[in-house]
Amino acid sequence: MALAQAIFEEYRQEWQHHFAPATQLRLGAVRLAALADQQSGEAHACLNADEMAQWEGFRLKKRRLEWLGGRMAAKWAAAAILGESPAAWPELAIRTEQDGRPCVAAGAHPAPPFISISHSGPLAAALAANLPCGLDIQQPGDKILRVKECFAGAGEEDILKASLPLSFSETERLTMLWTAKEAMRKMVRITPLLGLLEIRLLASLGGQGTPHNPLALTVTPGRAESFCPAHTTVLCFFTDNLAWALTCPPARKE
């Protein structure tokens, strides 16, 4: 279980200021290469019987590894919010809701945290918060250029190009836009899930696209629902060849 660790802890307090005042969030991560040779031991240490059965049911090695890494990261983050030790991880069952979102069934805890899980390339990561949250990570690649019409609306790439340092490539800018929309889609608890073209990037509030100074984007869900915020802030940055995006409800009622 030591493979699941805090990540970006030094920036957490500053990030929280972008969201509702009551927001508490924690980020956990697992490096998949380190987990690959220790899967069985880690699974038996942190999963309950139902989770073990689900993990053992995956036939593809890559899927088994990413699923376990995501669950470990989510249990670390949820336990950090709840003040629990690793010994409580089997009781912090991670289940899947009908719409596909992961959720914590925390047993004795009356208000388990919200969670969001993502994995890409070498890492599995999870965000836990006391409010609805969304996290997405993505390695940049040429494929994003071929599918940009599926998620990038008119003018959105221009906003990023004008906001980010010149060192960011088109591939990196589009990857950041993708992760921002995915994080928003995960945070807004609506059925059916928001489409990526429904979600609109409205503006940049500044930032350099680094963990220390993330790009703060104003994003709207694009669907009028009473429980949807009119818009919220998504924090985006690149580090170690991964784009990250995370969001929670906005700082003020929209």
Tell me whether the omega of the peptide bond preceding residue 229 falls within 30 degrees of 0, making it cis: no
Q: What are phi and psi of 219, to 5 degrees?
A: -130, 140
pLDDT tens track for 22-70: 899 999 999 999 999 999 999 999 999 999 999 999 999 999 999 999 9
Q: Say yes or no: domain 4-135 is CATH 3.90.470.20.
A: yes
CA 172 to chain centre: 18
Summarised one tens digit per residue, pLDDT across range 101-144 is: 999 986 767 789 999 999 999 999 999 999 999 999 999 999 99
Torsion angle in degrees (nearest 10) through CA of 74, 75, 76, 80:
100
Ranges of each domain in the chain = 4-135, 137-241
What confidence category does residue 177 fall into, taking pLDDT thresholds of 50, 70 and 90?
very high
Helix (H, G, I), strand (E, B) or coil at 30: strand
| Confidence check: pLDDT of 217 > 80 | yes
Q: Which residue has the higher pLDDT, 111 or 168?
A: 168
pLDDT for res 111: 85
CA triplet 133, 136, 140: central angle to 5 degrees?
165
